[in-house]
Copies of this chain bind each other. A is one copy, B any other.
Amino acid sequence: MKTHRRSILKKMFASVAGITGIAWSANAKDNTTPGKEVFNIVTEQDVPLFSGSTKFGNLVFVAGKGAHFEGDITAHTKHVLEEIEKELIKAGSSMQKVLKVSVFLHDLNDYKAMNEAYKGKFGDKPPVRTTVAVYGGVPGDSLVEMDCIAYI
């Protein structure tokens, strides 16, 4: 059942137009929404869908990141953390400045191995974390999805 779900969803995810495309990066000079900066906008059919990160004041919000390739939970966790780090750096933040992380596992049996790949990655003063498993509910065939809130 779970495998079936993943198989269907892999196809679905791939079919979202522009999901892997980085469209353009707006900034605070855009006077339509003063105060908000966004980076790495993902579009669908040329319409903005979501951003890779948003920045307001000294807070940074990073989008849910997954690993859309064949691999185990260790490889997926490492990849997701790298994707998060890229967004943080682009927004002027860093792993050490993350305040809160949300972790959505495909399967809770991956909890321990996820921890192994996760521990220490945010420095000596790690963010809070909330972890749940959604049993097939992570888009794009990823074994884990993570987002975060950080500061600059």
Contacts and interface: CB of A to CB of B under 8 A. Distances in A.
Copies in the complex: 3
B111 A9 contact: yes
A96 interface: yes
Contacts of A111: 9, 12-13, 16, 139
A74 interface: no
Q: Which interface residue of A16, A50, A97, A149 has the most chain B CB atoms within 10 A?
A: A50
The 3 closest A-B pairs by CB, nearest first: A64-B130, A133-B137, A63-B128
Interface residues of A, number: 74
A20 interface: no
Interface string A116-127: 101110111111
A62 to B, nearest CB: 6
B64 A122 contact: no
Q: Which interface residue of A41, A48, A108, A122 has the most chain B CB atoms within 10 A?
A: A108
